[in-house]
Structure 1
Amino acid sequence: MFAVYANEANADDPLASLVVGERPDPEVPEGWVKVNVKAASLNMHDLWTLRGVGIKEEQFPMILGCDGAGVLDDGTEVVIHSVINDPSWRGDDTLDPKRTLLTEKFQGTFADSVVVPARNAVPKPAGLSMTEAATMGTAWLTAYRMLFVKSGLRPGQTMLVQGASGGVSTALVQLGRAAGIRVWVTGRTEEKRALAERLGAHQTFESGARLPERVDAVFETVGKATWSHSMKSLKPGGIIVVSGSTSGPDASAELQRLFFLQLRVTGSTMGTRDELADLLAYTELAGIRPQVGAELPFEDARKGFEDMLEGRTAGKIVFTR
């Protein structure tokens, strides 16, 4: 079958390991289902896989793609939840010590078909296109959990999103606006800030700019480059929710500020299968449609990877069949 995959790890030149070609058709274990993929979105995790992060050498070649949308053999349209749990695990999917994501142990979604446990194929709302649905399982689910499960924010409070144009950031802007939260966003360029405003941000600022007032929560996916600004932007008792560190993890802890102002820092990773179902229902109820920055055929996957690597994003990059 057609697939976009990594043939080996390459930390220094990840795109040198990217192959657009053919892989064997998947076998379907008992309790699993085959999803005929119609659309799948690109994530930073796919670049990490090409670099060899979070995957063992013997797992290559590995079909890339953490999330997507497609059709079961019986015609049911589904969205894929990419957190694969140990069969014996009970509780929060993201806390399972034996959990894995697609592309770490099991083959991913950038292919004609992918196999997942039956519970990981979540019914797709009719109102979402396949392209839109393909953005939900990773970036939008991560944003949903950060905002509604981890932050504790209430309507009327103020949130700051560090970084204006990535998949998680654009989702946070749209979800926060729909929930009645004042949304502030930082962005490196005027173009990225304008995108955030179009998506619903109440106000945008240059990266590192002094804010009109301190905020109740900061949402961090950038890391080292924005960490000090995030700490200084919080009200006493405020919270930073962290789901990534694209500029590097070496952040100054600023412990004096942390304890004196009783700030809180919490991590957030992906989301549960039930949270994905709730997110899909919420987008229907609120009339939210995700920001798709580029839609490319799978055959042009390399261009999408190049754009992500260079930071040329304006929302999610989605590959379609």
Structure 2
Amino acid sequence: MRAYLLTGFGGPEKLEYREDVPDPEPGPGEVRLRVTAAGVNNTDIWTREGAYGDLGAGDPAAWRGALEFPRVQGADLVGWIDRVGAGVPPERVGERVIVDPVLYTGGEAELATSGLLGSERDGGFAELATVPAENAIPVDTTLTDAELASFPTAYQTAYRMVERVALARDETVLITGASGGVGSALVQLAKARGARVVAVVGPGKQEQALRTGADAVLLRDDVPAGESVDVVADVVGGPAFPALLDALRPLGRYVTAGAIAGPLTELDLRKLYLKELTLVGSTVSTHEQFADLVRQIEAGALRPLLAATYPLRDLPRAQADFVAKKFFGKLVITPQE
């Protein structure tokens, strides 16, 4: 099959396009799908760069520890099941599925040690992929496969964030990075809960954020004056962190699932305890939460924000465009083209 292989930690030169990769075969409890669309994410870039390790100690790592090379990246898979492994009903062949990218068994506490497609096992930047059968969720929608591939990682991350802080109707939430995949998903999910959304975006993206559902828009690095929001949903981090805490009302909640602007920041503990703030970390959703997300997609409650598609051979260009951040929504690879 055709696939892009990640051959080691580093820059785009570590991506190798191949047309002779052996077709994967589904093991017991697995299905194989013909991948029709696969979304591009920050995790792809950071995994390639080894950014999840202790860079100061020269110890690069993938999503959850060591990474085996070569690896097919791509966590967001949509496609059609063409083969099943032992123990999987043969009737599943021919199903159109969207794949839950989180790899774990057990309860919610297992999320802390979960793996991810495209990191702990091969993902969707290939013509074929195998996944655990329970991760391949049948989907019934008129959305295109590329539109569906805009959802998995971004929306399940956002879903988990609003769940972790129990965002409620009529609360005001400040969302950073609101033009990106997770940020734009947060806008939609927050509005679906009846919250008032203040979106922070880069120049030229204000109108798009308003069309997505934001009630108000601020330019990057700006925050509301005074203690004016109940919740901050942050995927940016970096030097803006102290100002984001300033924007929270007493008893406010801050939730983070990313650090695009940098993972290290300063925290004034007096601000934390005097305002009785709650700081929450969030990563990926449970299988149950992902299934609920798929039901919302099928019901038309969430709108895909597909910025562009690229054939498999153009994966390096797609990643370069992703890093440049000059788009609104999601970039998607279409391996069958």
For residue 135 of structure 1, report the CA deviation from its aligned partner: 2.0
Tell me: CA distance 1:71–1:210, structure 2 relative to 1, closer, same or farther (3 Å): closer
- Matching residue of 1:237: 251
Deviations 1:227-258 (A, max 9, x none): 12211111110111110111111111221111
Paired-residue identity, %? 34
- Matching residue of 2:210: 197
Deviations 1:94-129 (A, max 9, x none): 5353x2111222111111111111101011132332
Q: Would you say 1:62 and 2:71 are equivalent positions?
A: yes
Alignment check: 8 A CA contact 2:73 2:123 kept: yes
What TM-score do you get using the length of structure 1 for normalisation?
Answer: 0.92
Q: Would you say 1:91 and 2:104 are equivalent positions?
A: no
Residue identity matched to 1:50: R
Tell me: CA distance 1:58–1:287, structure 2 relative to 1, closer, same or farther (3 Å): closer
- Matching residue of 1:120: 135
For residue 210 of structure 1, report the CA deviation from its aligned partner: 4.3
Tell me: CA distance 1:105–1:153, structure 2 relative to 1, closer, same or farther (3 Å): closer
CA distance in 2, matches of 1:66, 1:142: 12
Alignment check: 8 A CA contact 1:155 1:181 kept: yes
CA distance in 1, matches of 2:234, 2:325: 17
CA distance in 1, matches of 2:243, 2:208: 21
Alignment check: 8 A CA contact 1:124 1:133 kept: no
Q: Any gaps of 5 or more consecutive residues in structure 2? A: 52-60, 83-92
CA distance in 2, matches of 1:70, 1:241: 32
Residue identity matched to 1:114: A
Q: Secondary structure at the match of 1:300?
A: helix
- Matching residue of 2:6: 6
- Matching residue of 1:281: 295
What TM-score do you get using the length of structure 2 for normalisation?
Answer: 0.88
Residue identity matched to 2:151: M
Alignment check: 8 A CA contact 2:75 2:116 kept: yes
- Matching residue of 1:171: 185
- Matching residue of 2:96: 77
Alignment check: 8 A CA contact 1:295 1:317 kept: yes
For residue 279 of structure 1, report the CA deviation from its aligned partner: 0.7
For residue 293 of structure 1, report the CA deviation from its aligned partner: 1.4
CA distance in 2, matches of 1:4, 1:294: 19
Q: Would you say 1:132 and 2:147 are equivalent positions?
A: yes
- Matching residue of 1:225: 239
Q: Would you say 1:108 and 2:123 are equivalent positions?
A: yes
Residue identity matched to 1:138: T
Alignment check: 8 A CA contact 1:219 1:241 kept: yes
Q: CA RMSD in A?
A: 1.7
For residue 207 of structure 1, report the CA deviation from its aligned partner: 2.5
Deviations 1:67-100 (A, max 9, x none): 1111112110111111112xxx421275353x21
Number of aligned positions between the proteins: 312
CA distance in 2, matches of 1:84, 1:119: 10
Q: Any gaps of 5 or more consecutive residues in structure 1? A: none
Q: Which moved more, 1:301-310 or 1:201-210?
A: 201-210
CA distance in 1, matches of 2:239, 2:330: 22
CA distance in 1, matches of 2:116, 2:181: 18
Q: Secondary structure at the match of 2:205?
A: helix
For residue 203 of structure 1, report the CA deviation from its aligned partner: 0.4
Deviations 1:200-220 (A, max 9, x none): 110001223341551110111
1:135-214 correspondence runs (5 A): 135-147=150-162, 149-189=163-203, 191-211=204-224, 214=228
Tell me: CA distance 1:303–1:295, structure 2 relative to 1, closer, same or farther (3 Å): same
For residue 194 of structure 1, report the CA deviation from its aligned partner: 2.1
